[in-house]
Amino acid sequence: MKLGRALLPPLWAFLIAMAAASALILAVGGSPLAVYRLLAAGTWGNGYGIGQVLFKTTPLILTGLSVAVALRGGLFNIGAEGQLTVGAFLTAFVGAHAASLPPVVAIPLALVAGAAGGAFVAAIAGALKAWRGAHEVINTIMLNFIVRALMVGLGARLFEREQIHTAPIALSARLPRLSSWLSALHGSAANASLFLAVAVALFVAWLFARTRIGFRIRAVGLSPAAAAAAGISVPRVQLGTMALSGAIAGLVGANFVLGYKYYYEDGFSGGIGYIGIAVAVLGRARPLGVVLAALVFGTLSQGGLAVNAVVPKEIVDVLTAVIIFAVAAAQPTVRRMLVGKEPAQ
């Protein structure tokens, strides 16, 4: 029954979104059923489709977890976009200079650089929240645009001549494609970073279920005043929560940089930082939920390309938005639900 109650709002959201999408498809003269069939066939219908879905799911797991971790600590991180940009850029930078290192050193080093970059950007908002009381929502938005401006200026100097991407990373820093083990996925960009994303999800689950740090983050998220009375340093936990959230977002470069294109490219993210908010909300800020929600949005993202010949692929963005609307509206206490266990009576 408890599971049913947890699943009901997302299910409702899905039905409402389907209805809205069907209306749009009908409005442009298409047949909803044909479109959905096409969408299914282009995603889970063949090996390539599955691989592409997994490829698109990987960064969404990470950004979803990033937003979810912050939410558990009572903070809203809208800045995953900026954090993952800096993280991916640093991952590419380190990866490009790792030619002399073996993969077991080069790959972790590149990932640590990415995590550190994301953590640093998020920590700015975290520190301003913790010690100056400045709203982290606005500050993370502002940081997104500060990062964007920085990448235009500083990043451009490091890009390859006449290109919008950095130099390619060393061979030793590259992650293997999943298709090298599972030939059915041939041609898809799915790579070993999927395991990283799942590992981070397991880590987050363990963090909140078993550790003191996870307990403190939850306590601060639920009641900063009670946490302070219990001897928890609220500012330090807030700073740490934001840094952790940013670090997870900073790992996104593993997928695109280390596993797919092997360089950082301007605008590679395409808004996955923002979709991460949708993933976290639909997944109710729980690691398993986030992974499942990431699969949903990953499927939609790939599915948009599959149906593009019949209806504009942007229908997927509309669908995504409507899902979030429906989840948010179905649960007025969504914020409370995300942070806490169950709403207080």
Partner 1 sequence: MIATLLSLGFFAAVVRITVPYALAALGGTLSERSGVINIALEGLLLFGAFSSTIGAWFGHGPVAGVLGGVLGGAALGALYALLVVTLKGDQIVCGVALNLFADGITRFLLKATFDSSSNSPRIDAWGHIGTTLILVTVALVALFHVVLYWTPFGLRLRAVGEHPEAAASLGVHPARIRWAALVLAGAVAGLGGAWLAADQRQFVAGMSNGRGYIALAAMIFGKWRPAWAAAACLLFGLAEALQIVLQASGVGVPAWAVQMLPYVLTMITLAGFIGRAQAPRALGKSD
Partner 2 sequence: MTDLAPPAEAIGCAHLWKRFGQVVANRDVSLSVMRGEVHAVIGENGAGKSTLMRALYGIEPPDAGSVRIGGEIVARPSVAAAIARKVGMVHQHFMLVPTLTAAENVVLGKEPWLGPFVNRRRAEREVAELSERFGLRVDARRLVSQLSVGEQQRVEILKVLWRGADVLILDEPTAVLTPPEVAELFDVLRGLVADGKTVIVVTHKLDEVLALATRVTVMRRGELVASLDPRATTAPELARAMVGRDLAAAPPRPLFTGESRERLRVEHLTVARDDGSLALDDVSLSVRGGEILGVAGVEGNGQSELALALAGLVATGARARVLVDGHDVAHQSVRVRQELGLGHVPEDRHARGAILEMTVEENVRLGRQEADDSALALACKRILERFDVRPADKSVPMAALSGGNQQKVVVGRELLREPLSVLVAAQPTRGVDVGAIERIHAELAHARVAGKAVLLISADLDELLALCDRIGVLYRGRVAGCVDNEFARRAEVRAEVASLMLGAGT
List residues binding partner 2 (CB under 8 A): 212, 215-216, 218-219, 222-223, 225-233, 336, 339-345
Q: Which does 266 bind (CB under 5 to 8 A by kind): partner 2, partner 1, none?
A: none
Residues 51-90 that bind partner 1 (CB under 8 A): 76, 78
Which is nearest to 81 in space by CA: 164, 38, 145? Answer: 145
Q: How many residues bind partner 1 (CB under 8 A)?
A: 50
32 binds, among partner 1, partner 2, none (CB under 5 to 8 A by kind): none
Terminal-to-terminal C-alpha distance of the chain: 18
Question: What's the closest the beta carbon of residue 53 comes to partner 2, in angstroms?
Answer: 35
Q: Where are the alpha helices (DSSP H) in the chain?
A: 2-27, 32-43, 47-72, 80-96, 103-132, 136-150, 156-158, 193-210, 212-222, 224-229, 234-250, 253, 272-282, 287-307, 315-330, 334-339
CA nearest neighbour of 89 among 254, 269, 248, 253: 253
Nearest-angstrom CA–CA distance, 136 and 131:
12
Nearer of residues 124 and 244 to partner 1, judged by Cβ = 124
Among 98, 115, 170, 278, binds partner 1 (CB under 8 A): 278
Residue 213 touches partner 1, criterion: CB under 8 A: no
The minimum distance between CB 307 and partner 2, in angstroms, equals 42
Contacting residue, 4, 102, 133, 231, with partner 1 by CB under 8 A: 133
Please tell me the distance from the alpha carbon of residue 226 to that of residue 231, in angstroms, as a whole number. 9
Interface with partner 1 in residues 12-51 (CB under 8 A): 24, 27-28
Instruction: Select 97 or 148, whichever has its Cβ closest to partner 1.
Output: 148
CA atoms 249, 145, 91, 240: torsion sign = negative
How far apart CA 330 and CA 337 sit, in angstroms, is 12
> Which of partner 2, partner 1, none has residue 312 at its interface (CB below 5 to 8 Å by kind)?
partner 1
Rule CB under 8 A: is residue 314 a binding residue for partner 1? yes
Of the candidate residues 145, 166, 201, 232, the single one contacting partner 1 (CB under 8 A)? 145
Nearest distance from C-beta of residue 123 to partner 1, angstroms: 13
- Distance (Å, whole) CA 250 – CA 59: 10
Residues that bind partner 1 (CB under 8 A): 24, 27-28, 76, 78, 128, 132-135, 137-139, 141-146, 148-150, 152-154, 271, 274-275, 277-278, 281, 311-312, 314-322, 324-325, 327-329, 332, 334-335
